[in-house]
Structure 1
Amino acid sequence: MFKKIPYSTHDEWLRLRKQGIGGSDAGLLMDIEQHGNKNIVDLWLEKSGKINKLDETNSAMERGHKLEPIVRKLYAIDNPDKVIREVKELYVHPKYDFIRASLDGEIILPNGDIGILEIKTTTIHQYLTYKELWKDEENNDTIPENYLYQVLHYFLVTDYDFAVLVADIRFKCFEDNSDTFDLNKQLKTYTIYKNEWMNRIEELKQKEIEFWSYVTNDIEPPYIKEYPIGIGGKYGRK
């Protein structure tokens, strides 16, 4: 059973989070495209304490922070048969205490089974970006790979059997390079089952163990630099 570490302030949560690998780090460790061109060496510098990363914020992050309790409440209203619980503790893997999780919530089914609630808010400025990230090759709904690995990381910590990702997707368009306006907004729900992703969960665990060995042994990990090479967010390496 995973351990729980309570915290009372945002600064305390940040300190605890820096002592291990969180869900938002998982995609980077699996070499999934990340915003801001952050790479594994940047993450190593942060986790090893060689640099003190400021608590960054921007309008998108502030919007997400404000919307999270609203989306959680909406999901609870639409699912009256389930108990939706906000999580105010940091969860820690029972064996590897550097593998940690901050859940947006938990879903308790009528039979007592518990699952993960993950809430995402995003703004899409180009349809090609939406198609690349939120549709598969057959044009079926899917979720971005970095979001998927965040959920798989949470499976790794909690060993819960299912997760629900609720995504608030806002589409914005630029008209003559002037003011923006909302084209459309969607609230989509995706259910992910742990047993369908066991191989990837194990692969992620090994990647995280390997990365943390670089932190504890003070050895810089192999550097991978990703850079944009074309339209639609495709990336290459050098």
Structure 2
Amino acid sequence: MPSRAEWLEARKKGIGGSDAASVLGLNPWKSNVALWEEKTGRAEAEDISDRECVRYGVACEPLMREMFKLDFPEFRVEHEENSIIQHPKYPQLQASLDGQLRDQTGRLGILEIKTTTLNSRADRQQWKNAVPQNYFIQLLHYMLVTGAEFAILKARLRSEWGELWITEKHYRFERADHEEDLAYLLEKELAFWRMVETDTRPNLILPEL
């Protein structure tokens, strides 16, 4: 099993799930240019491992994975810590999964686990009937890399409006419903990586208002 340090170093050599939204200019925290600067060695990725929200998420992940097993016994759940999966044709496309799933028919799926704090009514609305766009793109990336037929996101949502409020929600996505999105993402990720390899700075993609 790779160490966490080895895993972090390997992530620099390709596009991972948390990078995918940045490639499209749809990551609210990191632009496509900032990502390119990191991948070409011009900048170091910010170390956020000591942030309280990150430490909370890391601590919750194994517990939430076990809860998923109990709540959804129809799935076989597998997980290997610090492992990186590469696309069979494009190894620069990588995935580090919170879990691999098999349903009762043997179809491959992925499990993604998120913890987040809802600080406003807008935050709560964003999770009401969908997942935030950057997380949806992350799921697409994982299906793209692994060939998975479906993806399930398990979210633990916290808020402290007067009292602590916690709920868990599950969102399921079928690959067959998003083939066009997958093709578009593959095209953009390959184009981005060519810019990394040729040291060509991309144009900044500004999110739509």
Distance 1:160 1:114 in 2: 5
Point out 4+ residue stretches in structure 1 off by more than 6 angstroms: none
Aligned to 2:64: 71
Structure 2, unaligned runs of 5 or more: none
Answer yes or no: is 1:22 the counterpart of 2:20: no
Counterpart position of 2:166: 185
How do 1:108-187 and structure 2 match up within 5 A?
108-131=102-125, 133-135=126-128, 141-173=129-161, 181-182=163-164, 184-187=165-168
Deviates more, 1:22-31 or 1:79-88: 79-88
Contact 2:24 2:32 in 1 (8 A): no
**Code of the aligned partner of 1:109:** D
CA offset at residue 31 of structure 1?
Answer: 2.1
Q: Deviations over 1:79-136 (max 9, x none)?
A: 22322111332100111111000000011223322210000000001012221x224x
CA distance, structure 1, for counterparts of residue 139 and residue 131 of structure 2: 11
Provide the rounded CA distance (Å) in 2 between the counterparts of 1:21 and 1:82: 28
Q: Which residue of 1 aligns with 2:187?
A: 206
**Aligned counterpart, 1:11:** 5
Normalised TM-score (structure 2) = 0.93
- Equivalent residues of 2:23, 2:35 under 8 A apart: no
Contact residue 87 and residue 106 of structure 1 kept, 8 A: no
TM-score where L is the length of structure 1:
0.82
Matching residue of 1:99? 93
RMSD: 1.6
Greater share of strand: 1
> Which amino acid letter does the alignment assign opposite residue 157 of structure 1?
V
From the CA coordinates, give the structure whose radius of gyration is larger: 1
- Of the structure 1 ranges 85-94 and 141-150, higher mean CA displacement relative to structure 2 is found in 85-94
Q: Percent identity?
A: 35
Residue 83 (structure 1) aligned with residue 73 (structure 2):
no
> What secondary structure sits across from 2:84 in the alignment?
strand
The C-alpha deviation readout for 1:139-163, integer Å capped at 9, x for no partner, is xx11111111000001110111011
Judge which range, 192-201 or 79-88, deviates more: 79-88
Between the aligned partners of 2:27 and 2:44, the Cα distance in structure 1 is: 23
**Residues paired across the two proteins, number:** 207
Distance in 1, Cα, partners of 2:204 & 2:149: 34
User: 1: CA distance between counterparts of 2:195 and 2:160?
Assistant: 41
Separation in structure 2 between the aligned mates of residue 29 and residue 172 of structure 1, nearest angstrom? 33
- Which residue does 1:138 correspond to in 2? none
Question: Does structure 2 retain, via aligned residues, the 8 Å contact 1:82–1:110?
Answer: yes
